[in-house]
Structure 1
């Protein structure tokens, strides 16, 4: 649920309308991008040069400095890491986000299916607009048809979104503020001039479509024959509901904060409610009780990597995403708020909860006597 002000709401809406990673010069391998997080296993932050040195130490291809630097750009675009140094600092300092720390915890659990589920959500939050048309495409792979389909999808998507924006936010000053934050839109020049939609070129489509086929395979959405898997179909069902308008929306509550008229609000799937368990029956109390031990184990084993390092606590995003994963796996809807509340009641001797500084997610910490063995 979104709890910020108007400026933050405008930023969140712009991001939801432009979930695409624009970098095309390298760093196409997802495993390599995620490996950036390993630098922070025991460090709260690191200079960009230190991250690049880590990547070089694990590079078997003698990649250029520019190529390795591009990997950190991808990690930032996926909101796994962020810049924490000031703008005028001579060296750029990076640190993991809450999502980054949580994914690092999942990365070290040895539960490949859960990690893939979590990683898929992270990638979609950053790149759904570019990845979805590759997933939906059912024509000949590795062909010009794929690139043409990608371009057509983006052109139609952007025109629909621009029409919706103009209808939802008719005040020009407010509309222009959001347009400035959308990568594929340019302000119209001159009084009354229409905003300009940028359409990807065929060369751009080739650079984006080809590597993302590898991403789909890595995430298990397509198999080695490039056919859509059951997991891929579940993603499509959750991401592209029965609606003519496609988006992975902002945090729930952003549209209300911006005071959009109820008739024009697009609703979900929202960033903070997106999961693959839609339509599944709600779990019974007995079924909820049956997964509490598994969730606690995930929290305990993942804590040394998911914790903030500078503070002995970890984001609840880790167990929440595991609950979403279990909802998908078990074909039961486990409401995460209910499950988390029950978990801290049952496991209060092992784990304690901390309130969030912003939002409703919050943090957790292992009890001192248990934490001593999990540093």
Structure 2
């Protein structure tokens, strides 16, 4: 499966471009073009519609491979895969409300994720963006969205906002899609970051952007809820993020092994570092950690595909996987740098770039504090008032 959609030759071309995108702070246009031509953006689309018909587990395997070659490219592509994956997960559970996402992806449309907002730590459960209802069922959205990956290339942007007048003044969260050719949105050129630079996750200003009634796909109460859409977004977002960072960790471990075999120690008679007990212990520790996260990622993704019912434990599983994968990847990169020595500290080395890229993992939702609160609530119940 990976060899057909993501062959080694394509991966090597993508890997060869990663440093240049990072250096120039430029978008991965060439990567995206090749990935689209290879059918990578259609991996969740059914085979009957020209896609690969993969589930979440298959997509996670591919994203690990892509991230090992070019983390920023994989991270940005994740956002398209989240929406198409959400549509796939909902359809598998009898909900065809996002079937048009798969249909349009099959025709080459590129989806992006316009959900994050500055200062909104409620994420999917509240919004500072105003959703104004229009006659006929559409909505006009006004607000600021941050970390909009794929900003130079998306043709469909999934957004949400709050209609404060709905539900007798309690408010209602409205989810919809806008097209790139529609008026009322602006992409800022403000992505100048420490790492993940090729993702070009610029800020998007919604200035009265209209989502037509046929592109409004959910209206939910403010606050946590058990709607299948929320489940599907968490499942795809957290699992595919974990796949990207697991791929980074795998690449770091590979580089650490290469460095251990390629470096020698003068004070140990020119012996290879791979023969030194301390280095062998570091590599072994890293390899065992990778075994653990790979198994956890596979287990969660396969359970989503198999429609396993974990009930209230699903969300702890998703956020726990994300936190463990991102933290594990940081440990892998740190280990690789320690084994590789001072050459990794130089600007332009692959490990130097991975060191910057992997740091982004701490900023993706769910963050460490939110994840621990979710897991604690699942096992101990909510805090008493």
Q: Is this a same-fold pair by TM over 0.5?
A: no
Shorter-chain TM-score: which interval?
under 0.3
The structure in which a higher percent of residues are helix is: 2
Relative CO higher for 1 or 2, CA cutoff 8 Å, sep ≥ 6?
1
How does the TM-score come out when normalised to structure 1?
A: 0.28
